Structure 1
Amino acid sequence: MSLTVAVVGGLHGDARKAAVARLLADVPGSVVLHHDLATAAAGTVVRTVRDRTGLLNTGETPLVNDCACCALREDLVPELLRLADDAAVRLAVVELWDSVEPKAMAEVITAGGLTVSSVITAVDPALVLPYLGNGDDLADVGLAAAATDQRTVADTFARQLEYAPVLAVAESPEADDEDRELLAQLHPTARRIPIGHGTPAGPAAPSEAHTCPRSPLARAALAGFDVEAAAAAQHPACALLPVEADDHGVSTLVWHHRRPFHPERLYAALEDLTCAAARSRGRFWLADRPDALLHWDAAGGALCVERAGPWLAALPDAAWELVPPVRRAAAALAWHPEHGDRCNHLVFTSPALDRDGLAHLLDSCLLTDTEYAAGREAWQQLPSAFDTLLEV
């Protein structure tokens, strides 16, 4: 039977370990491959391979360019290929170290010629809001994957959560309806599978060794995964963003507008907008940069604004053939006769969200009727307030 690979990650360590234990118990012939980046200070990454009975082998790999995550990348595929040569191994569960993000690892595995059957992020619902609100640098809490790692706890957790199509949700006595609703609104398309912290089910009987796995999580781990589709779902031009919702004290505001932002007014409002919600993301355009698709990504009280390439409406027709079909389709669904795919599409999710106040603030940052009527040449003469933020 050919080897498939399930990637299990997440900053919630206890939940991640519970998910991995469930897979070992319920998928015959499964092993877990884990790289411990906590040993990077000593110059190495420690690799372990285990099955449900215990440790099978261990080894070390040196850092690459002072980067523990780079060492993981270089060691991961050779180890998986070695496991693939063992006919007894049916599923390799790659348990990611705390701050390692699943997107990069899934793409490395696929590029190495192996089949990723699932990406699962394990979550404790009671910890979702505290982690989204944690603006600490990973380096300050001992979770940096490289000397140059500038990520925060909040933005790392958000990407881990939103990339995975399957969430393994730990049983948590501290979690309430608001916590579970926040998780549901942050990633409404994810399949949420409950897992426990107790002892997993016993080993399969010999007659069950090659039958279907017994738990929903085990079946999800073998269900299949499309790396290209997962990447497209995260790209700001065609991301599958959350929808409007309001339940159990948690709200999601979807704010969509075709008129561009006035750069100075939006810049002046950034702090208030960033702090208005536990999580916000999306795409937007500025009047003085009509061809630039800008990515909005905020968590933990910090905002990252980046260029995500040009809007399709800014490209010559000949260049469209170079654009992935999923992006062309997304643009066509909401094409505007004047602005094409240019739009502001921002989504804010949080408990106690001031929806009306937030929408009013966003509206106030748009061009006024008079400014809009002045036309694109006049827009491009507006002060470029975002030069420093975009590192022009």
Structure 2
Amino acid sequence: MTELVVLCGTERDGTERAIARMRQLDPDVVVLHHDLRDLGRGLVHRRLRDGGRDEHSVLELDHGCVSCTIRADVLPTLAALAGAVPRVVLHLDPCLEPEPVCWALGAVLVDPGRGRAPCPATDLVDLRGVVTVLDPQTWLDDATGDVTLPERGLTTLPDDERTIAQLAVGQVEFADVLVTTRPAGPRPDPTVAVLDRLAPTAPRLDVDDADERVFCTRLAPGARRGVPGGVHEPLLRGAPSLDADAGVRTLVFSQRRPFHPDRLHDAIDTLLDGVVRARGRVWLATRPDAVLWLESAGGGLRIAHAGEWLDGAGPQAWDAAGADRQALAALAWHPRWGDRAQDLVVLCHAADPDEIDAALRGALLTDAEVAAGQDAWSGLPDPFGWAHDEPCSDPEPAHTDPGTGDGREGGS
């Protein structure tokens, strides 16, 4: 079966250097790239490199968007290459995060032709994993800032308000292999410490001396290999160190009582400065059935609806949850709260985790508020809608149709 590697990075020069090294290691590798700089005009510049062939073409899309590009050309091209070539590198535009692309590879049906029924691309190619290219001397500044993609010139879409931090963090966090374009700083180095915790199982290769591992060979057991995670998966994937290093520390916050919505809204300000990444499950007193997903990168944060707790749900919800979530819920079942819990992981590089912990604890219901019961909680002020972004924007009303997905799409 044709092997597929997904390559990403925010810097075009860096990813091109990685492609050059890959082609040195495997001259027969096919490289497929879609340049999205003209996507706002409905144009995508497509490049296909195959040995000595280097083809350029321009695609015109009726609806200029990333999902249109993936459905209209990426998936059909991979289907056509499947079985015809031994290895393909899908070189993503710098504005793309690999996780939603990999989700599309495994979930969106494509017509493989030859009389076969439509199927996901991952039925046709062997997705080996994700490679992320980064400059360790600039990456941490990107990962902790609030510069937007339009300000960096990475997108022309008028409604794309994502930040470089969201891209930088998402690309590293989902990586199976990290490729660095130059050496990191001298130890102790906060960038190295952050990478150790954000992608603990990913080997780090120098771009000019990378070996076959750049094709996601010999990965550690449990490597993600391009499979998107779920809301209820363990938050500390790969067992990263919790010890302090170069000023970098990880806070694990787990509590078994609900948040007061208004006080949580105040407390999340502590997650917007000096924090590389915060992510996890949130339970609000005003919404006893709803799982909320919190995710931040740099100076941006989003909380969105991500499903329902199993407590009080019917047998169909339990069956749909899968064995891993059922086991986790049963193991930590509370006689009053069921599987409801606060579970957050906060990766700090210039913030005090103890101060964040104190702020989050202060946002929990007090003993007196817990004793007042659910009827009293339902009247608490709730500034969160169906989805809420920080810095603050008008929240989406909680009754809005969420559409598809688990509430996490859109990022921080």
Q: How high is the TM-score relative to the length of structure 1?
A: 0.84
Match of 1:114 among 116, 124, 129: 124
What do residues 74-95 of structure 1 show as CA deviations (whole Å, max 9, x unaligned)? 1112222333363xx3100011
- Following the alignment from structure 1 to structure 2, what is the Cα–Cα distance between the partners of residues 9 and 329? 35
In the alignment, which residue of structure 2 is the partner of 1:205? none
8 A Cα contact 1:285 1:342, kept in partner? yes
In the alignment, which residue of structure 2 is the partner of 1:220? 217
8 A Cα contact 2:275 2:346, kept in partner? yes
Alignment of 1:94-243 (within 5 A): 94-110=90-106, 111-112=120-121, 113-115=123-125, 116-144=127-155, 146-172=157-183, 174=185, 177-188=189-200, 190-196=201-207, 198=208, 215-220=212-217, 230-231=227-228, 233=229, 235-241=230-236
In the alignment, which residue of structure 2 is the partner of 1:382? 380
Give, as a single letter, the amino acid of the residue that structure 1 aligns with 2:29: S
Give, as a single letter, the amino acid of the residue that structure 2 aligns with 1:97: D
Is 1:303 the counterpart of 2:301 in the alignment?
yes
Q: CA deviation at 1:240?
A: 3.1
Give, as a single letter, the amino acid of the residue that structure 1 aligns with 2:369: E
Give, as a single letter, the amino acid of the residue that structure 1 aligns with 2:345: V
What do residues 118-137 of structure 1 show as CA deviations (whole Å, max 9, x unaligned)? 22222222233211223233
Gaps of 5+ in 1: 202-213
Give, as a single letter, the amino acid of the residue that structure 1 aligns with 2:397: E
Which segment drifts farther, 346-355 or 214-223? 214-223
- Following the alignment from structure 1 to structure 2, what is the Cα–Cα distance between the partners of residues 175 and 61? 45
What do residues 287-312 of structure 1 show as CA deviations (whole Å, max 9, x unaligned)? 11111111111122121110101112
Identity between Structure 1 and Structure 2 (%):
35
- Following the alignment from structure 2 to structure 1, what is the Cα–Cα distance between the partners of residues 183 and 63? 40
Q: CA deviation at 1:386?
A: 2.2
SS of 1:241's partner is coil
8 A Cα contact 2:14 2:134, kept in partner? yes
- Following the alignment from structure 2 to structure 1, what is the Cα–Cα distance between the partners of residues 32 and 198? 29
8 A Cα contact 1:6 1:221, kept in partner? no
SS of 1:372's partner is helix
Q: CA deviation at 1:175?
A: 6.7
Change (3 A) 1:151 1:330: farther
What do residues 190-215 of structure 1 show as CA deviations (whole Å, max 9, x unaligned)? 3222123x3x68xxxxxxxxxxxx53
Change (3 A) 1:264 1:225: closer
Change (3 A) 1:223 1:374: closer
8 A Cα contact 1:44 1:68, kept in partner? no
Which segment drifts farther, 330-339 or 126-135? 330-339
SS of 1:363's partner is helix
In the alignment, which residue of structure 1 is the partner of 2:55? 57
Change (3 A) 1:55 1:228: closer
8 A Cα contact 1:280 1:297, kept in partner? yes
Gaps of 5+ in 2: 107-119, 386-393, 399-412
- Following the alignment from structure 1 to structure 2, what is the Cα–Cα distance between the partners of residues 241 and 126? 25
SS of 1:25's partner is helix
How many correspondences in the alignment?
371
Change (3 A) 1:83 1:386: closer
- Following the alignment from structure 2 to structure 1, what is the Cα–Cα distance between the partners of residues 91 and 156? 15
What do residues 350-376 of structure 1 show as CA deviations (whole Å, max 9, x unaligned)? 223312222111111111111122222
- Following the alignment from structure 2 to structure 1, what is the Cα–Cα distance between the partners of residues 37 and 222? 29
In the alignment, which residue of structure 2 is the partner of 1:80? 78
Change (3 A) 1:344 1:222: closer
SS of 1:324's partner is helix
8 A Cα contact 1:171 1:194, kept in partner? no
- Following the alignment from structure 1 to structure 2, what is the Cα–Cα distance between the partners of residues 227 and 218? 14
- Following the alignment from structure 2 to structure 1, what is the Cα–Cα distance between the partners of residues 258 and 19? 46
Q: CA deviation at 1:4?
A: 1.7
Change (3 A) 1:255 1:224: closer
Q: CA deviation at 1:153?
A: 1.6
Give, as a single letter, the amino acid of the residue that structure 1 aligns with 2:15: R
What do residues 18-45 of structure 1 show as CA deviations (whole Å, max 9, x unaligned)? 3323322223531211111123355421
- Following the alignment from structure 2 to structure 1, what is the Cα–Cα distance between the partners of residues 330 and 139? 35
SS of 1:49's partner is strand
In the alignment, which residue of structure 2 is the partner of 1:204? none
- Following the alignment from structure 1 to structure 2, what is the Cα–Cα distance between the partners of residues 145 and 335? 48
Alignment of 1:345-384 (within 5 A): 345-384=343-382
Q: How high is the TM-score relative to the length of structure 2?
A: 0.81
8 A Cα contact 2:175 2:199, kept in partner? no
SS of 1:313's partner is coil
- RMSD of aligned residue pairs (Cα, Å): 2.8
Change (3 A) 1:330 1:126: farther
SS of 2:15's partner is helix
8 A Cα contact 1:118 1:225, kept in partner? no
SS of 1:7's partner is strand
- Following the alignment from structure 2 to structure 1, what is the Cα–Cα distance between the partners of residues 332 and 318? 16
Change (3 A) 1:125 1:13: same
